């Protein structure tokens, strides 16, 4: 990944054939030019298929030979997932692939014809022009364990979203048919609570069975944490329940279906995380990252799934920018605007870091003290959310250092590197 604009521009010279590709679902459009913007040949349309990709390669090679170019660089917008296949194909063929920001394409398309007109042929040319000017990023296409990890964490996200939806539906069901249930069980996902929802979910069921029968059913599978008092409390709650008592036959079936799906998804999540831990064991530096108090497998796996191999980066600020956590400011003359984060980059990475920093502030003494310092310091105190964002950036730097060096996390070293004398050193 190139870190400076100059380094990006330096890769484009008189020997470079620049190709801009407008990506679509079925048919792509490509246009070629040199480093000065002089266009070669006519635009090429090709299918999203092996035949179409080979057609692009043949066209590019013919143009490069005709115009004495010894290097080809292909630029495109990261349009959804449609660029993945052609991206992997170009990588296998050894052709350099770069990505341009769709927002840059949108804002640049009027430069040539002073018209907001949009079409595939025009966009392909605009993309090539942006590549010529060095306004691109080099994608890190995951390979090996990192590719497996990205797919695994995508699957984890899908399972988690569906599982949360099922949990909400079960909670809604309880609120409708037996709202007092959660005064007896704080968590309906516990063993005894799940048995109750399976075998006697309605107040009428509980009143029919009685306290002793309920307790005996519990004891078949649960040996601890349930007793006579819990059974009596459930029975008393059933007697005064305000739950709906109509449509119970289909309501019972609805609940059983929800519980079946909940059990399947929970099992899938457990199996998936076992596989994720196995994948992480093959990646250098993960053990050091997991040695940090407050950081779990899901956070490390999600971080590496989004970022890829840390050896592709030379500085943690590159990852900060990738997450859209770099700062922006609107200023003009004497006016100084508010400083905020850009939110450009990988949304999933930014969300993962923010979710990960919350328990870290609660469990890790150093990050807890840093949060306290940022929000209470005399000079430029931060709001709580601003402090959390700053700590997300700090987390990136720590994970980057641990992952690349493979050294165990040291709270004392972190404090020494911070050089903030106001912090309470007793947190170590």
pLDDT tens-digit profile of 258-272?
999 999 999 999 999
Name the residue ranges covered by the structural domains of the chain: 5-132, 147-277, 286-427
CATH code that applies to domain 147-277: 1.10.287.4070
- Measuring CA to CA, which residue among 255, 228, 248, 240 is closest to residue 179? 240
Model confidence, pTM: 0.84
Here the tokens at position 71 are 């290097």
Q: Which residues of the chain have pLDDT under 50?
A: 1-2, 425, 427-428
How many Å apart are CA 321 and CA 341, to the nearest integer?
10
225 φ/ψ sector (left φ>0, alpha ψ -120 to 50, else beta): left
- Would strands 27-33 and 39-47 be described as parallel, antiparallel, or unpaired? antiparallel
Looking at residue 426, its pLDDT comes to: 52
Looking at residue 83, its pLDDT comes to: 93
Looking at residue 421, its pLDDT comes to: 58
Looking at residue 419, its pLDDT comes to: 61
Going 92 to 93 to 94 to 100, the CA torsion angle's sign is negative
Here the tokens at position 251 are 């309501």
Looking at residue 91, its pLDDT comes to: 92
Q: Does the structural domain 5-132 have CATH classification 3.30.420.40?
A: yes
Q: Give percent above pLDDT 70 in the chain.
A: 93
How many Å apart are CA 289 and CA 74, to the nearest integer?
36
């Amino acid at each position: 990944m190139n870190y400076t604009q100059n380094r990006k521009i330096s890769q484009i010279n008189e020997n470079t054939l620049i190709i801009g590709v407008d990506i679509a679902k079925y048919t792509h459009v490509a246009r070629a030019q040199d480093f000065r913007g002089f266009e070669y040949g006519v635009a090429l349309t090709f299918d999203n298929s092996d035949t179409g990709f080979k057609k692009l390669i043949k066209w590019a090679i013919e143009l490069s030979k005709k115009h004495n170019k010894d290097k080809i660089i292909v630029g495109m917008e990261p349009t959804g997932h449609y660029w993945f296949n052609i991206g992997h194909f170009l990588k296998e063929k050894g052709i350099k692939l770069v990505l341009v920001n769709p927002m840059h394409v949108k804002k640049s398309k009027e430069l040539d014809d002073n018209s907001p007109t949009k079409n595939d042929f025009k966009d392909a040319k605009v993309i090539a022009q942006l590549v010529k000017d060095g306004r691109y990023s080099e994608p890190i296409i995951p390979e090996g364990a990192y590719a497996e990890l990205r797919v695994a964490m995508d699957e984890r996200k899908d399972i988690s979203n569906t599982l949360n939806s099922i949990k909400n539906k079960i909670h809604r069901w309880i609120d409708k048919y037996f709202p007092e249930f959660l005064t007896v069980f704080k968590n309906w996902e516990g063993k005894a609570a799940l048995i109750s929802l399976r075998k006697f979910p309605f107040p009428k069921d509980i009143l029919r069975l009685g306290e002793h029968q309920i307790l005996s059913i519990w004891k078949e599978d649960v040996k601890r944490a349930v007793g006579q008092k819990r059974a009596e409390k459930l029975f008393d709650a059933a007697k005064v329940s305000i739950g709906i008592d109509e449509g119970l036959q289909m309501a019972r079936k609805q609940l059983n279906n929800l519980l079946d799906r909940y059990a399947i998804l929970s099992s899938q999540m457990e199996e998936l995380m076992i596989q994720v831990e196995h994948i992480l064991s093959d990646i250098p530096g993960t053990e050091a990252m997991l040695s940090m108090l407050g950081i779990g497998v899901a956070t490390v796996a999600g971080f590496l799934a989004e970022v890829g191999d840390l050896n592709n980066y030379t500085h943690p600020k590159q990852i900060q920018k990738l997450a859209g956590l770099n700062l922006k400011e609107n200023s003009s003359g004497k006016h100084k605007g508010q400083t905020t984060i850009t939110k450009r980059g990988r949304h999933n990475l930014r969300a993962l870091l923010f979710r990960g920093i919350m328990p870290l502030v609660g469990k890790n003494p150093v990050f807890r003290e840093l949060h306290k310092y940022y929000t209470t310091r005399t000079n430029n105190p931060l709001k709580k959310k601003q402090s959390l964002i700053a700590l997300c950036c700090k987390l990136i730097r720590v994970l980057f250092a641990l992952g690349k060096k493979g050294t165990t996390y040291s709270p004392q070293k972190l404090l020494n590197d911070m050089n903030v004398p106001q912090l309470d050193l007793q947190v170590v």
